[in-house]
Amino acid sequence: MAPVGSYPPVSPIVAGLRCRCPRCGEGRLFKGYLTLVDECEHCGLHLADSDSGDGPAVFLIFIVGFLAVGLAIWVEVTWEPAVWVHALVSGGFVIGLSLLLLRPAKAYVMALQYRHRRDEFEG
């Protein structure tokens, strides 16, 4: 384990997309779907008490909602399907994209918290 100050800065976007530790960019951030590891396996950063709150969900509500409305308009203009088709297409799109993006969004918010409030992570 290297001393705390010896890690080069990690881009929050890269750490978020890879779901990696915000300090070293190498260790896994999650031990389940959204459960954080207690500490980084690579650098030892304590992560068990970290909390990203509702930030990742709010990001996704805006992003996925915007895309879902665009998809619904495009499907309606292109095929004019029945309402139940809209429910299936939009529902599947929203649920699938949300599940796909929630982990990277949470990792991204954790990386931003580490960058701007590092003392909360390192005591």
Nearest to 18 by CA among 114, 119, 122, 107: 107
User: Do the Cβ atoms of 27 and 43 come closer than 8 Å?
Assistant: yes
Pick out residues in 19-48 that bind Zn ion (CB under 5 A).
21, 23-24, 27, 40, 42-43, 45
CB of 56 to Zn ion, least distance (A): 20
- CB-based burial label for 55 (10 Å; 0-12, 13-18, 19+): middle
59 by Cβ neighbours in 10 Å (0-12 / 13-18 / 19+) ranks as middle
Q: How far is the CB of 27 from Zn ion (least distance, A)?
A: 4
Nearer to Zn ion by Cβ, of 28 and 86: the residue is 28
- Closer Cβ to Zn ion, 45 or 109, answer by number: 45
CB of 116 to Zn ion, least distance (A): 17
Query: Is the separation of the CB atoms in 22 and 115 below 8 Å?
Result: yes
Nearer to Zn ion, 39 or 97 (CB): 39
Least distance to Zn ion from the beta carbon of 10, Å? 9
DSSP conformational letter for 20: B
Binding site residues, Zn ion, CB under 5 A: 21, 23-24, 27, 40, 42-43, 45
